[in-house]
Structure 1
Amino acid sequence: MIVKFNPFDFIGATLILVSLFNVSKHRKWWLVYALGCSIWIVLSISVGFYFGAIMNIVAVIISIKNWRRGK
């Protein structure tokens, strides 16, 4: 089984993990989280995983709301 390395998948996952680690310190990390989820939305749609895309859209909406509230 050959596994292809997708750099955008790695970038999206890294942005999400780093932002969740730092979100308690600064509000701007909610936007970084939204960016990482946006990358995964594009990747999910490109492979036909529409449920994952919908869940990431919900995550983007929640992260932007949290950024605006200051939580």
Structure 2
Amino acid sequence: MAAEKKAYPLRISAAVLDAMQRWSDDELRSVNAQIEYVLREALRKNGRLKNEKAATPADDDSY
């Protein structure tokens, strides 16, 4: 069963968005998937997100 996805409008500076675009290009992900990956990793590393067995954005890049 796929994890539920919710839309969320994000206001982000042009410089940060450009950096995320370059990073996502390097990782062969969409910008949306890269942002979700970075957020998920930060949450996990800070103990705010339990380890999930569901697919990660790297596994499902259908954005």
- State whether TM-score is above 0.5: no
Larger Rg: 1
Q: TM-score, normalised by structure 2?
A: 0.37
Between Structure 1 and Structure 2, the one with more helix by share is: 1
Q: TM-score, normalised by structure 1?
A: 0.34
